Amino acid sequence: MRIKDFDTKTLDVILARMIESVGRSKNEIYSIGEESRADLETLNSELAEVEELTDRVVGEGERLEAKVRLSRSKLSEVSMHFKNYSEDQVREAYEKAHELQLELTLNRQMEKQLHERKKDLVRRMNGLHETIDRADHLVSQISVVMNYLMSDLKEMGELIEDAKLKVEFGLKIIEAQEEERKRLSREIHDGPAQMLANVMMRSDLVERVYKEDGIDAALAEIKSFKQMVRNSLYEVRRIIYDLRPMALDDLGLIPTLKKYLQTMEDYHKTVKISFHNLRADQRLPSNYEVALFRLVQESVQNALKHAEASEIQVKLEMKETGVTVVIKDNGKGFDPKKRKYNSFGIMGMKERVDLLGGQFAISSKPGQGAAVIIQVPIPQE
């Protein structure tokens, strides 16, 4: 279809489909939030039961401990005046002391297991709280996007000379959205979901090992079990950092970038990632900090995924009038003039910088790595 013959009503149809797709995504995220709330309520009830059982076990332990002290006192008396007691009385004193000590040991083990269970429930509840907060935040953001789509974007047809570019742009938004959802789904399935499934199986194994091989083997199994939980927690935290680090709002851009880059280096063992802050740290407006973080994140992810780099350097210089960020890698490089590298990701980065009134550039040649240069002015009060 030639541009001059392009029917602008087609744009409205595409826009309606985009709104419908975004609306479905909003409903799916809302469902995730509601399911998380239901799971949180279930865990909360389970936590209350565990706490009640713990109180009973602790009380029983205190009573057993008192009985053990009495039995030891009795046993000491029997040992000191052995000739004053019959053989049956001596045997009964020893057996009673042994039985009470065994009951106390089992009680302490049960108390320890209940405390571990409580910690696990609290960790899972904290994770659900984060999921709920993230889902609510995403629903809010999508609502803003839908309002934008249903209002300002409807007038874009009158402003865009190349209608075909608008169609491609809209389709790229949907494609990027679907790719991100698939990526998150794949990471959660291959990482935390698999580990948590193993955690459930190993938790059942602990009890069987205790019954069959004794407390030492069970404790060894618990130690391995705890390491698996730590690994699961690490994977969840990494995914959360990919979505949005909570420290960005609390600590600001510089500490969050340091933590994020260190996390990426720890995860990608073969890549050295360094960060250099050339000036003192200062807080920026929230939208600037979010945008700059996303720009660095996108650049680093591109270097990790496509450049096959072994070293990535991030340099940030913050002055009173503006911020300059350079992300440089020693990867295979590319020709920025070729259309295949004019990807939607780079287009999105350019648009972010344009919205901040800044400048964006990429310097690269095949075989010579790449450098992304971002310059953003800081609004003056």
Task: Give the residue with greater pLDDT, 238 vs 349.
Answer: 349
Q: Looking at residue 220, what is its pLDDT?
A: 77
Mean pLDDT of 275-293: 83
Highest mean pLDDT, choosing among 35-44, 65-74, 170-179: 35-44
**Closest Cα to residue 373, out of 356, 357, 353?**
353
Mean pLDDT of 58-85: 81
Least confident of 138-147, 201-210, 366-375: 201-210
Q: Looking at residue 375, what is its pLDDT?
A: 93
**Closest Cα to residue 371, out of 330, 310, 322?**
330
Q: Looking at residue 134, what is its pLDDT?
A: 84
Give the 3-state secondary structure of residue 94: helix
| Per-residue confidence band for 161, with pLDDT thresholds at 50, 70 and 90 | very low
**Closest Cα to residue 49, out of 109, 112, 117?**
117
The rounded distance, in Å, linking the Cα atoms of 173 and 155 is: 18
Examine the pLDDT at 292 and tell me if it is beyond 80: yes
* Other C-beta atoms lying within 10 Å of the C-beta of residue 154: 13
Q: What is the mean pLDDT of the chain?
A: 78
**Closest Cα to residue 257, out of 182, 347, 327?**
327
| Burial letters 41-78, b for 16+ CB under 10 A, else e | eebeeebeebeeebeebeeebeebeebbeebeebbeeb
Q: What's the CA angle centered on 144, arms 139 and 150, to 5 degrees?
A: 120
Q: Looking at residue 381, what is its pLDDT?
A: 62
CA distances from 193 to 168, 184, 221, 223 (A): 35, 12, 20, 20
Task: List strand residue ranges (DSSP E) for 129-281, in order.
Answer: 272-277
Amino acid at 348: G
Alpha-carbon 253 to chain mean position: 18
Amino acid at 3: I
**What's the fold here for domain 245-377?**
Heat Shock Protein 90 (3.30.565)
Q: Looking at residue 34, what is its pLDDT?
A: 86
The fraction of the chain above a pLDDT of 90, given in percent, is 10
DSSP-assigned letters across all residues of 321-361: SEEEEEEEE-S----TTSGGGS-HHHHHHHHHHHHTT-EEE
Task: Give the residue with greater pLDDT, 138 vs 150.
Answer: 138
Highest mean pLDDT, choosing among 115-119, 245-249, 349-353: 115-119
The rounded distance, in Å, linking the Cα atoms of 326 and 276 is: 10
- pLDDT tens-digit map of 163-217: 555 556 556 656 656 666 676 667 676 666 677 777 777 677 766 777 777 777 7
Mean pLDDT of 222-235: 77
